[in-house]
Structures are given as C-alpha cells and as structure tokens.
Amino acid sequence: MLRLKQAPEIEHLNRSDFIDEALRALRVARSAIQMLALAISQHEEILRKQSDGPIGTLTVPDHDWVRGEDKEL
C-alpha cells in the first residue's frame, strides 16, 4: 500500500473541491479574456473614427475553417 508523506507545504484536496476551484478559476479567466476582447474592439473603433486615411483589415479565420471543417471563409 502506498503511504503519502504528510508535509505542511503541500495542501491535499479532495477531487470535488479541486474541480470546483479549477472551474471557478476558468470562469474568471474566460471573463477576463472576454473583457480584453471588448476593450480591444472598442479601442480599434475609436482609432477607426479618428483616422482620416484608409484602414487595413485582417481576416482571421475561425477554428473550424483552420481545421478544414468549414469551407466558407
């Protein structure tokens, strides 16, 4: 039988507590990414309105197109 050595530096959690904590962290990360995307979009819109010259665009294909699952770009 494997015996775990107890050490004060290591926190032992049960699986459900670990999953709950990981899901909470992922939700925070997802919210942060969404807020960053919104901030970038708003910043680009402000720059577009302030520019007198032409604005270049860059088409970024989605994941399905990159994997060849969607033929339309």
Q: What percent of the chain has pLDDT over 90?
A: 41
- The boundaries of the domain holding residue 39 are 15-66
CA dihedral 46, 52, 56, 57 (to 10 degrees): 40
Q: Please report whether residue 26 resides in a domain.
A: yes
Tell me, what's the pLDDT at 38?
Answer: 96
Is residue 2 one of the residues assigned to a domain?
no
How many domains is the chain partitioned into structurally?
A: 1
pTM, entire model: 0.58
pLDDT at 36: 97
Residue 59 forms part of a structural domain: yes
CA distances from 45 to 15, 38, 55, 67 (A): 45, 11, 11, 30
